[in-house]
Amino acid sequence: MPLLRLATNLATACHPQPTVAVTTLSTVLLAGAGNPAGTCLLGALAVLTGQLSIGWSNDLIDRGRDVAAGRLDKPMAAGELAASELRTACAIAVLLTVPLSLALGWLPGLVHLVAVAAGWAYNVRLKFTLLSPLPYLVAFGALPVIATTALPEPHLPPWQVVLAAMLIGLAAHFANVLPDLAADLATGVRGLPQAAGFARSAAVAGAAALAATVLLLVQEPGLVTALGLVAVCAVLVVVGWAARARRAGVVFTAIIGCAAIGVALIVATGGLG
């Protein structure tokens, strides 16, 4: 079935793990801030379409490097997805992202569009430079701002929550690069994680995740955040083992787990104000 095959290839090309993770965590933040169900659904769709556009644009921009690196896990590089098909899907995602974002309100909508633009800036240029963490810092730091400014009575979240979200984004960046580190180096991608190397990047990812949790504990001291810190430390033991074994996928999944714990702590402690 050509349509089913196209849908499967598009789902694979969108970088499904980070797309699902960011969409889910954003929706949880929206709900945790106290937004109505309709706003949460609208926000989820806006974030999902934005993430789809970022993931698909990444594969479009990286096609030549993916082919050179023999990335048969990527449908377009493997010849299973035409550039025109991916370009059309990406354009539709962008066209949907703009009205869906602005439907949240002009301020959260603009903040989200800035976050999406940061993702595109990473794909187009910044991932080749030592400024590669910047789009992640901007995009993840924007998520709690979107959640609280979408409320009927909008307000800005505490700065500690924004900083913790930025640290989670930093951890995600360094962990996300690890599975592709060798291919990136072979095809000329020289972002900060590539310059740091596998071991240092894994260490930065773990340290950033831990720092985000400590920051939340300082902001809202109590049993819940203390238990969250214990849980993150347990996950980071797995990160340490996986880094020594050079299990890049395990490191990335574990860091996503740390991000989930962080978002759970923000919501459970009422950190969004």
pTM: 0.94
Residue ending a domain, choose from 138, 166, 188? 138
Regarding whether 93 and 23 lie in a shared domain, the answer is: yes
pLDDT in tens, 42-63: 999 999 999 999 999 999 998 8
Backbone angles phi, psi at 91, to 5 degrees: -65, -40
Alpha helices (H) in 132-245, listed in sequence order: 133-149, 159-177, 181-186, 192-196, 198-219, 223-244
Regarding whether 200 and 101 lie in a shared domain, the answer is: no
SS3 16: helix
Q: Which two tokens stand for residue 234?
A: 């347990």
What CATH number has the domain bearing residue 115?
A: 1.10.357
pLDDT in tens, 98-131: 999 999 999 999 999 999 999 999 999 999 999 9
pLDDT at residue 1 is higher than 70: no
Q: How many domains does the chain have?
A: 2
Query: Distance between CA 140 and CA 115 in Å, rounded?
Result: 8
Distance of CA 7 to the CA centre of its chain: 22
pLDDT in tens, 215-244: 999 888 899 999 999 999 999 999 999 999
Model confidence band, residue 66 (pLDDT cutoffs 50, 70, 90):
confident
pLDDT in tens, 166-222: 999 999 999 999 998 888 888 889 999 999 999 999 999 999 999 999 999 988 889
